[in-house]
Chain A
Amino acid sequence: MKTKRNCYHCGDICTEIISSEEKFFCCNGCKQVFLLLSENNLCNYYQLDTTPSIKARGKFVGDRFAYLDDESVIAKLSLFNSDKLINIRFSLPQIHCSSCIFLLEKLHQIEPGIIQSRVNFQQKDIFISFNPTIISLRKVVELLSFIGYEPAIMLQDSIQNSVKKVNRRQVIQIGVAGFCFSNIMMLSFPEYFSGGNLEQVALQKTFSWMILALSLPVLFYSASTIFSSAFKGLRQKDLNIDVPIALAIIITFLRSYYEIIMGIGPGYLDSGTGIIFFILIGRWFQNKTFDALSFDRQYQSYFPLGVTIQKNGIEKSIPITKLAINDIIVVRNNDMIPADAMLISGKASIDYSFVNGENATQEKFPGELIYAGGKQRGALITLKALKSSSQSYITELWNNAIFDKNKVTADSFIHPWSRYFTATLLTIASLASIYWLWADSSKVLPVLTSVLIVACPCSLLLSSTFTFGNMLRIIGRNKLFLKNASVIESLANINHIVFDKTGTITGQETAVINYVGIELTPHENSLIKSTTANSSHLMSQSLNQFMVDESGMLTSNFVEYNEQQGKGIHAKTPDMEIILGNRSFANADNLNEDVKNSEVHVKINDRYKGYFELKHPYREGIEEMIAAVNKKFTLHVLSGDNNAEKAKLQQLFENNTNIIFSVSPQQKLDYVKILQQNGGRVLMIGDGLNDAGALMQANVGIAVSENKANFSPACDGIIDGSAVKDLASIINYAQWGKRIVSFGFVLSILYNFIGISYAVQGKLAPVVAAILMPISSISIVLVALLGSTMIAKKVDLI
């Protein structure tokens, strides 16, 4: 046997070796890309990172991107469009290292029509300017795909820019608040150190008025988001945490302005602006988003953008939206059926595994109806469209009302806290005023306001924003990407977990295969490999990949070849006869073992040899994960597949798990709904389109994705396939998060207690407020960050 070599381009192990310039490649595609790069002096690509490249996909069938020649598509996609220049931004989820940046920014050396290309690594996108008279948009996309970076093109992508502008505004608000806060602090120092008696009245006045001027932008610009959120809360009759904060800010500023204008004192503007500054930083910290991921995908992004149709014998590519009823569609191997259609010619074997969770392909014959969403595995077929794709069967699920509304996020547990807090605060304030009304009525107003100022619940807010923000980052490092911080709280509250089977518990890789029986000769191995090569059944394909051709006697010379759907293959070569198939097909009834799932029995030259046992491999570490969550939650498995693996699954889960097979997408959704009506808080984990409704309905819906670039249905979080095993620790971590936040709350209430005890006595000097405020904020931020990091270490997430 030859020593194994890794492909110079993509790093995969080479099965057949293609060499060029003393370098080895796994496939012709990788070699072509290497040649392209070396001719353009771009071989630095390979030096920057050890195995940077993405496996080349090889050459395309000519018209895959032909719809990009359509003027309306170009106009929709481009940012700027003129005769001599087109600017366009593509999302390239494959970008992952510095070599990617290097190569993608040197595109102009490969194609002179490209004027400039700029990568944004974190957004995982590329901005390209090119001259359409030299190179077409289609050629640009084909070049990108050729070197391994196929753009994720979505026609409704234009939302992206508005999101970015909002983030910029947030940064500017923080900048303004920080500038004003630090300058106000500086101007307040003389006042503090002189104990409130500056000798020069003029100087004191100047300081005060400058402070006043500096505080205005903070109040009117930086704090505007806090006010609008509080206002929204009030209008919905909901006392959210922004309401007491907005109240505290308004009172702080009003009282300070009054003091400064009347010349009574310096006011509390340093504390007031500081509060706003810290709150804004907390928000920014919490709003870590995974820009490169899309959580709200509709079915449109699952379908291809272009379809090939045949008109008057000529093949033509059109955008999918222009597909009309009765058009003749051409579908090639691995292409998707774009609309419900009738098969006209060719042999269709459609793989619906992503749509309904079934593992086997479905064979269809001319005249039969084929539903949209499946993928053709095999040769070219032609179909007649019966419906447009937006009205196809698969898209009906999206007509369910649940996709129309945004998911209502559960009330955060800081909400009740903030309500109690506000109620207690108002009680203390009124009790103190009543006391002072009786003792010294001139002090009522100062005491009332200073209680409200010092008891600002901003530390409550900081505790949760920093804890959850940090947790979002740590969980993201473990390859679970959550949509926002409130998902962590929902995750901490679940009591039911619903798993999908195909693609979630099982990986999507090839099956694990065991052979039981009489040892096969190399020649027989080759015979099995050649027999299965002609079949598109998933089991044949797995077997074909598994068999090794050691003898080099692969053949395609069959005198007889007969495949019976769902049973097996009967084939004859000039010198041998082989039967591959299920128990009865291979006459293996004499075996008295229990019927197990997915077996392929082999009979060669009328002699029974044995059988291959195909097991869909469960994900690594999934048993431990399930054992860990089994103790705490009620588990359910909903599978669109048939019950072949029931015994295996029951072994994996414990008896109290509900395992249901052959479930339709709608039934999954209803199942989750019923659980919720009985008081369940449901975490749904699934991967396919058949889970889309259930993911949406569940309190937390997490989509499993092998490759972040692939389509995943709308969800609250996207988890990498390899991270499913960590789910138990992640849920555990989410539950800890709540405790950390509560601890922060207790601490902040302690500070509030100290502050209020000064305030009710009428002794809250600005300097006390100015010391207490930053100490409490900073210490709470530290507790939140250190706490969440330490717990992550404890549950083995870092």
Chain B
Amino acid sequence: MSALFILLGCSIFIAASFLVAFIWSVSNGQYDDDYTPSIRILFDDNAPIDLIEKNIPNKNISNKKPITNAN
């Protein structure tokens, strides 16, 4: 039966480490927004069809000359 003492300690220790992880993730703000990340993951980096057609490598997009807005 003395094995139980060790097992008890292990189980509490494992559960407690999950609790610590939970507390850390909450205070880190990971639960502040539970909706946006689920959408964000579905976005492609750039419109793929355009890229294939124009054969532009991904990197160059952001180097493009910006066009001015408004005025």
Contact code string A121-139 (vs B, CB < 8 Å = 1, else 0): 1110000000000000001
A44 to chain B, nearest CB (A): 5
In whole angstroms, how far apart are the Cα atoms of A121 and B36 in the complex? 5
26 contacts between A and B (CB under 8 A): A41-B46, A42-B47, A43-B50, A62-B71, A101-B39, A101-B40, A110-B67, A112-B62, A119-B36, A120-B32, A120-B36, A121-B33, A121-B39, A122-B33, A139-B69, A146-B69, A146-B70, A164-B32, A168-B26, A168-B31, A171-B31, A172-B26, A175-B19, A179-B22, A183-B12, A206-B8
The answer to the question of B27 belonging to the interface, with a C-beta cut-off of 8 Å to chain A, is yes
Q: Which 8 A-B pairs have the closest CB atoms?
A: A121-B36, A120-B33, A179-B19, A98-B39, A121-B35, A146-B69, A44-B47, A175-B22
In whole angstroms, how far apart are the Cα atoms of A108 and B8 in the complex? 53
In whole angstroms, how far apart are the Cα atoms of A183 and B39 in the complex? 36
B23–A101 touching, CB < 8 Å: no
Within 8 A of A (CB), among B5-63: 5, 8, 12, 15-16, 18-19, 22-23, 26-27, 29, 31-36, 39-40, 42-44, 46-47, 50-51, 61-62
The answer to the question of A577 belonging to the interface, with a C-beta cut-off of 8 Å to chain B, is no
Cβ–Cβ < 8 Å partners of B15 in chain A:
179, 183
B23–A210 touching, CB < 8 Å: no
Known A121-B39, A183-B15; contact A59-B67, beta-carbon cutoff 8 A: no
B8–A109 touching, CB < 8 Å: no
The answer to the question of A105 belonging to the interface, with a C-beta cut-off of 8 Å to chain B, is yes
B66–A142 touching, CB < 8 Å: no
Contact of B61 among A41, A62, A200 (CB under 8 A): A41
Cβ–Cβ < 8 Å partners of B40 in chain A:
101, 105
In whole angstroms, how far apart are the Cα atoms of A40 and B42 in the complex? 19
In whole angstroms, how far apart are the Cα atoms of A346 and B70 in the complex? 27
Cβ–Cβ < 8 Å partners of B12 in chain A:
183, 210
The answer to the question of A546 belonging to the interface, with a C-beta cut-off of 8 Å to chain B, is no
Q: Which residue of B lies closest to A102 (CB)?
A: B43
A476 to chain B, nearest CB (A): 15
Q: Which residue of A lies closest to B54 (CB)?
A: A41
In whole angstroms, how far apart are the Cα atoms of A62 and B71 in the complex? 8
Known A39-B67, A40-B64; contact A203-B4, beta-carbon cutoff 8 A: yes
Known A60-B70, A175-B26; contact A206-B5, beta-carbon cutoff 8 A: yes
Cβ–Cβ < 8 Å partners of A43 in chain B:
47, 50
Q: Give 9 new A-B contacts, CB below 8 A, not counting A41-B51, A168-B29, A179-B22.
A: A36-B67, A40-B67, A41-B47, A110-B67, A143-B69, A172-B26, A179-B18, A200-B1, A210-B8
In whole angstroms, how far apart are the Cα atoms of A175 and B31 in the complex? 13
Cβ–Cβ < 8 Å partners of A168 in chain B:
26-27, 29, 31-32
The answer to the question of A645 belonging to the interface, with a C-beta cut-off of 8 Å to chain B, is no
Known A43-B50, A62-B71, A122-B35; contact A109-B26, beta-carbon cutoff 8 A: no
Cβ–Cβ < 8 Å partners of B50 in chain A:
41, 43
Contact of B62 among A108, A122, A142 (CB under 8 A): A108
Contact code string A39-69 (vs B, CB < 8 Å = 1, else 0): 1111110000000000000011010000000
The answer to the question of A397 belonging to the interface, with a C-beta cut-off of 8 Å to chain B, is no
Cβ–Cβ < 8 Å partners of A109 in chain B:
61-62
Known A179-B19, A203-B1; contact A110-B27, beta-carbon cutoff 8 A: no
B23–A172 touching, CB < 8 Å: yes
Cβ–Cβ < 8 Å partners of B33 in chain A:
120-123
In whole angstroms, how far apart are the Cα atoms of A98 and B62 in the complex? 22
A142–B70 touching, CB < 8 Å: yes
B36–A44 touching, CB < 8 Å: no
Cβ–Cβ < 8 Å partners of B39 in chain A:
98, 101, 121
Interface size class of A (residues with CB under 8 A): 35 or more
Contact code string A195-228 (vs B, CB < 8 Å = 1, else 0): 0000010010010001000000000000000000
In whole angstroms, how far apart are the Cα atoms of A101 and B37 in the complex? 10
Counting chain A CB atoms within 10 Å of each CB, the highest count among B16, B29, B34, B64 belongs to B64
The answer to the question of A14 belonging to the interface, with a C-beta cut-off of 8 Å to chain B, is no
In whole angstroms, how far apart are the Cα atoms of A175 and B32 in the complex? 15
The answer to the question of A588 belonging to the interface, with a C-beta cut-off of 8 Å to chain B, is no
B66–A59 touching, CB < 8 Å: no
The answer to the question of A111 belonging to the interface, with a C-beta cut-off of 8 Å to chain B, is yes
Contact of A44 among B4, B29, B43, B62 (CB under 8 A): B43
The answer to the question of A176 belonging to the interface, with a C-beta cut-off of 8 Å to chain B, is yes
In whole angstroms, how far apart are the Cα atoms of A378 and B28 in the complex? 51
Cβ–Cβ < 8 Å partners of A146 in chain B:
69-70
Cβ–Cβ < 8 Å partners of A105 in chain B:
40, 43
B4 to chain A, nearest CB (A): 6
A534 to chain B, nearest CB (A): 29
A42 to chain B, nearest CB (A): 7
A176–B19 touching, CB < 8 Å: yes
In whole angstroms, how far apart are the Cα atoms of A742 and B33 in the complex? 35
In whole angstroms, how far apart are the Cα atoms of A183 and B34 in the complex? 27
Q: Which residue of B lies closest to A44 (CB)?
A: B47
A142–B32 touching, CB < 8 Å: no
Within 8 A of B (CB), among A67-88: none
In whole angstroms, how far apart are the Cα atoms of A101 and B39 in the complex? 8
Contact of A36 among B4, B46, B69 (CB under 8 A): B69
Contact code string A163-201 (vs B, CB < 8 Å = 1, else 0): 010001001100110010001000100000000000010
Cβ–Cβ < 8 Å partners of A206 in chain B:
5, 8
In whole angstroms, how far apart are the Cα atoms of A56 and B61 in the complex? 25
In whole angstroms, how far apart are the Cα atoms of A133 and B29 in the complex? 30
Q: Which residue of A lies closest to B48 (CB)?
A: A44
Cβ–Cβ < 8 Å partners of A44 in chain B:
43-44, 47
Counting chain A CB atoms within 10 Å of each CB, the highest count among B16, B19, B34 belongs to B19
In whole angstroms, how far apart are the Cα atoms of A200 and B2 in the complex? 10
Counting chain B CB atoms within 10 Å of each CB, the highest count among A41, A111, A112 belongs to A41
Within 8 A of B (CB), among A87-125: 98, 101-102, 105, 108-112, 119-123
In whole angstroms, how far apart are the Cα atoms of A171 and B28 in the complex? 12
B56 to chain A, nearest CB (A): 8
In whole angstroms, how far apart are the Cα atoms of A139 and B70 in the complex? 9
In whole angstroms, how far apart are the Cα atoms of A142 and B70 in the complex? 7
Counting chain B CB atoms within 10 Å of each CB, the highest count among A36, A42, A121 belongs to A121
Cβ–Cβ < 8 Å partners of A142 in chain B:
69-70
Cβ–Cβ < 8 Å partners of A39 in chain B:
67
Contact of B70 among A40, A59, A101 (CB under 8 A): A59
Cβ–Cβ < 8 Å partners of B64 in chain A:
40
B39 to chain A, nearest CB (A): 5
B17 to chain A, nearest CB (A): 11
Cβ–Cβ < 8 Å partners of A101 in chain B:
36, 39-40, 43
In whole angstroms, how far apart are the Cα atoms of A40 and B62 in the complex? 9
In whole angstroms, how far apart are the Cα atoms of A168 and B71 in the complex? 43
In whole angstroms, how far apart are the Cα atoms of A556 and B71 in the complex? 29
In whole angstroms, how far apart are the Cα atoms of A146 and B71 in the complex? 10
A2 to chain B, nearest CB (A): 31
In whole angstroms, how far apart are the Cα atoms of A40 and B60 in the complex? 11
In whole angstroms, how far apart are the Cα atoms of A62 and B70 in the complex? 9
B32 to chain A, nearest CB (A): 6
In whole angstroms, how far apart are the Cα atoms of A42 and B4 in the complex? 61
Known A41-B47, A44-B43; contact A175-B23, beta-carbon cutoff 8 A: yes
Cβ–Cβ < 8 Å partners of A112 in chain B:
62, 66
